[in-house]
Amino acid sequence: MSDSVIGVDIGGTNIRVGLVNENLELARKETVLTGSFRNADEIFNQIKQMIEKVDSEKKANKIGIALPIPWKDKTEFIFDATNIPCLETMNIQKIRSYFPEHKVYFENDVNVITLLESEYGASKAYRQSMYITVSTGIGSGIILNKEIFHGAHGYAGEIGSMIVSDSKRNHSILYDGTLESLCSGKALEEESKSLYGSDATTCLLFEQYHKEDKKAVEVIHVWVEYFSNAIASLMQTIDPDIFVVGGAVIYNNPWLIEKIIESAKNKVLENLRDKIKIVMSTFGPDAGIIGAGYMALINSKGE
């Protein structure tokens, strides 16, 4: 790598823009809340302003944009942008038109982190791996033989839609049996509100757990049960060498990893029980920005 690049990570909670240098270091970054904007035009005009701030010297001529949508080569329109509905049906070329001075590349937001972790991070030593983020929503990326696997239609890794339960909990506000509806940060926040009031947060739920509040302990116990259902299913369908996990829920509560492993061991074939390996992401909360920038760099080299 010989130059700097702009990384743009568009998430359901935050939009992050950064200048990534040739050593995959984040030189400068800007962050805004995604919910601050009413439409796509406001989002991309704000991103333009953020780019001007992080790259005032105009060092970068390439932008990598990580989007929370299914993605494959030659995608023309955004579909299934469930966490940012205002992006639905938007034309990819229209997005490029906001940045006429830059070459713009796109990829799924979780895939860029998956690739970064595979090349330089926690799964570097392995040819088959998965990265899972547990934040506002839940998503994953899949590495097969050191390459991102997109699937036939760009939906590979959309594990938030996995069915992990067929029995409704009486106290659950959000329920359709999927991993995201039961285990995402949003789902945990809703559980916290149902237990402790409308101002309650996910952080409060975990505080109550550590205080051994019985209601919080039960919620987290069930969370581990459902999340380990997903890990067991993925272990026995994709069979990766390693799972790398990140996202706010995991970053703030890394002790959950060991509980997930222990629970998943009881749900897989006997010979797989000692092969479930789950580790924390190397690149941390800024992985989306750095990964978006890295994706742009490697794609531009192939042209």
Provide the 10 A C-beta neighbour count for residue 168.
10
Ramachandran class of 80: left when φ > 0, alpha when ψ lies in -120 to 50, beta otherwise: left
CA dist 185 and 201 (Å) reads: 10
Lowest-confidence range among 12-21, 89-98, 167-176, 191-200? Answer: 167-176
CA dist 98 and 77 (Å) reads: 16
pLDDT value of residue 301:
79
Q: pLDDT, tens digit, for every residue of 159-211? A: 999 999 876 544 444 457 899 999 999 999 999 999 999 999 999 999 999 99
Residue 300 has pLDDT above 90, yes or no: no
Q: pLDDT, tens digit, for every residue of 242-285? A: 999 999 999 999 999 999 999 999 999 999 999 999 999 999 88
pLDDT value of residue 74:
82
Could you say which architecture CATH assigns to the domain 5-109+285-301? 2-Layer Sandwich (3.30)
Q: What is the mean pLDDT of residues 123-129?
A: 98
- AA identity, residue 84: I
pLDDT value of residue 170:
41
**Domains 5-109+285-301 and 122-281 alike in fold:** yes
C-alpha dihedral sign at 240, 242, 244, 249: positive
Packed helices 202-210 and 185-196: angle between N→C axes, nearest 10 degrees: 70
C-alpha dihedral sign at 114, 133, 277, 270: negative
pLDDT value of residue 118:
98
pLDDT value of residue 70:
92
Domain boundaries, the chain: 5-109+285-301, 122-281
Share of the chain above pLDDT 70, in %: 96
pLDDT value of residue 83:
82
pLDDT value of residue 174:
45
The residue count of the chain comes to 303
pLDDT value of residue 40:
96
Q: Which of the four pLDDT bands, split at 50, 70 and 90, describes residue 303?
A: low
pLDDT value of residue 173:
42
The pTM of this model reads 0.92
26 in Cβ contact with 5 (< 8 Å) = no
SS (HEC) of the chain: CCCCEEEEEECCCEEEEEEECCCCCEEEEEEEEHHHCCCHHHHHHHHHHHHHHHCCCCCCCEEEEEECCCCCCCCCECCCCCCCHHHCCCEHHHHHHCCCCCEEEEEEHHHHHHHHHHHHCCCCCCCCEEEEEECCCEEEEEEECCEECCCCCCCCCCHHHCECCCCCCCCCCCCCCEHHHHHCHHHHHHHHHHHHCCCCCHHHHHHHHHCCCHHHHHHHHHHHHHHHHHHHHHHHHCCCCEEEEECHHHHHCCCHHHHHHHHHHCCCCHHHHHHCCEEECCCHHHHHHHHHHHHHHHHHHCC
CB contact set of 145 (below 8 Å; sequence gap of 6+): 127, 128
The CATH code of domain 122-281 reads 3.30.420.40
pLDDT value of residue 150:
95
Average pLDDT, the chain: 93
Q: What is the mean pLDDT of residues 3-29?
A: 93
Q: pLDDT, tens digit, for every residue of 212-246? A: 999 999 999 999 999 999 999 999 999 999 999 99
pLDDT value of residue 76:
93
Q: pLDDT, tens digit, for every residue of 50-70? A: 999 999 999 999 999 999 999
Q: CA 24, 30, 32 angle in degrees (round to 5)?
A: 130
| CA 220 to each of CA 119, 178, 183, 249: distance values in angstroms, whole numbers, following the listed order | 33, 16, 9, 12
Residue 93 has pLDDT above 60, yes or no: yes
